[in-house]
Amino acid sequence: MIVGIPKEIKNNESRVGMTPAGVFELTKRNHSVFVQSTAGEGSGFFDKDYLEVGATVLETIEEVYSKSEMIVKVKEPIASEYLLIKENQIVFTYFHFASSEPLTLAMIKSKAICIAYETVEDNDGTLPLLTPMSEVAGRMAIQQGAKYLEKPIKGRGILLGGVPGVKPGKVLILGAGVVGVQAAKMAAGLGAHVTIMDINMKRLRYVNDVLPNHVTTAFSSEYSIRQLIKTHDLIVGGVLVKGGKAPKLITKDMLKEMRPGTVIVDVAVDQGGCFETTKATTHEDPTYIIDDVVHYCVANMPGAVPYTSTMALTNVTLPFVLNLANKGWEKACEEDKNLSKGLNIIKGEVVYKEINEAFNLKV
């Protein structure tokens, strides 16, 4: 198979779809790999590294798309890429279709095979290709939240860990999934007081068992969220609905209940966000303020730490890339039910029901 690795062109996105190690695994199996020039530089991989393992380096993104049977990316295609995607071309990347109708309609029109990292499932229902980026984003949510609590950036002026004689800051985490648990670990490590909420008691029991005593759990309800936001300094939204839109757990009117300078970080922004006032931002301009509440809603948080993120992502995507290249998408998905759950749009037909539900599509 001919595999293409284009350079990511989303704002401040420095990750790359494959490392030289992954390309080597493809080329030694006689697959051809086209890598766009400088695609890996942001993650610390250079054109010569790809050339040494048998890749062909092409200058333009148009060449990569036109020559490749399968495109392996990190982020969803943006508008300038829509027309580059060909009929029957496999596109293997994060798509998050439910948060973007234009992207969904463009991929339907392209008649490509769209396989989304975020809906590939393991036998136990976990999401192996989303997990590593959720781990990165969950940890980063605290790192970024702590920074934006500083007064020069209009935060409350709180040091999350406190100091002797001064109470630590308080962190509220919505969702006890991968993002929530990783955020809780980081916040607890800084010495903050942490409350993590969920409607799944099994997850809350797990958190209670594995995290330190200054991480407390609470069953999530609108009433309890409304009470807790009044006293917490940093609020992290990490709620996931597989392949669908995130629920709006914090509404605009709730912002007035928060203290001025409270920071809210929406890790669910890729899926539409779990705050009503969420709008996607970039690393270039990451925050905005509504009702004196600082919003951090960067849609590609792991892109700020591209070496860590690229390594973590490609560790888990490579076996699936090899499977697709070796067998073709139909046979690979027929034999691997976990991979088949990544199929979102096939040759113009939406095959993932949450996407149809998000937009009431009649396709």
Catalytic residue among 198, 233, 266, 270: 270
What is the rounded distance in angstroms from the CA atom of residue 27 to the CA atom of residue 19?
A: 13
Distance CA(170)–CA(193), nearest Å, equals 5
Q: To 10 degrees, what angle do helices 131-148 and 178-190 make?
A: 40
270 counts as catalytic: yes
The DSSP bridge pattern shows strands 170-174 and 193-198 to be parallel
> Which H or E element spans position 180?
helix 178-190
Location of structure tokens 């609108």:
222
End-to-end Cα, the chain, rounded Å: 30
Assign residue 180 a region: left if phi > 0, alpha if psi is -120 to 50, beta otherwise? alpha
Can you say whether the dihedral through the CA atoms of 140, 219, 217, 201 is positive or negative?
negative
Q: Which of 174, 157, 167 has its CA nearest to residue 254?
A: 174
- Contact present, 170 and 231 (Cβ < 8 Å): yes
Annotated active-site residue in 31, 49, 96, 295: 96
The catalytic residues are 96, 270
